[in-house]
Chain A
């Protein structure tokens, strides 16, 4: 099975900074663009931000963007805001198991 690895596991940045999170699929064949990013704020249910590696979910602020294909993907927050404090997860959904990455905790 393909494993999803995120880095870093945590980061701390300033308001207004550009933040980048990476997600890698373990096997060379890759997952095409079947990759989603979720945001989970403390005590809340996860929320999908990006799907298809780069498609912004309706209602999600445009400071969030995704890129990548195959085995390497990135989530970028162009200008970090206080409300972006959360843990971010990538997920593959090309085929089962629909594994999540280990998460990246973003702090300010």
Chain B
């Protein structure tokens, strides 16, 4: 079965970077893009960006593109999200999510979420 398993919770100081991993299994990694979504405490869902797993294209949310880097490792079927120059407002649960299909880019499969806390 399709699984996305994320790395564990992180606590970072303002100005630091965080890198979250999303290890996938149960399907052909190269056939479906990976998105990252975050959710601040008590808030809604915010799309952060997308990375293609077949041609390495990326598309980042405009408000994050200066600090966000998405990468993939096809040898381990793992996607990574690195957010730099962290500020307290980056405190959130971060999710990776796999698109449903090439025809429907909604998010059918989700990781369990990774809590990132930014605090001095």
Number of residues from A at the complex interface, CB < 8 A: 24
**CB proximity to A under 8 Å, residues B97-113:** 100, 104-108, 110-113
B-side contacts of A76, CB under 8 Å: none
Query: Which of B's residues lie within 8 Å of A, judged by CB?
Result: 35, 37, 44-47, 50, 59, 61-62, 95, 100, 104-108, 110-113
Across the interface, which residues of B come within 8 angstroms of A100, CB to CB? Answer: 37, 44-47
Q: Which of A1, A48, A98 contacts B108 (CB 8 A)?
A: A48
A57 — nearest CB in chain B belongs to which residue? B108
Q: Please give me the residue from chain B that is nearest to A45 by CB atom.
A: B110
Chain A residues positioned under 8 Å from B37 (CB to CB): 46, 100
Nearest CB on A from B89, distance (A): 17
Identify the A interface with B (CB < 8 A). 1, 34, 36, 38, 40, 45-48, 51-52, 57, 87, 89, 91, 93, 96-103
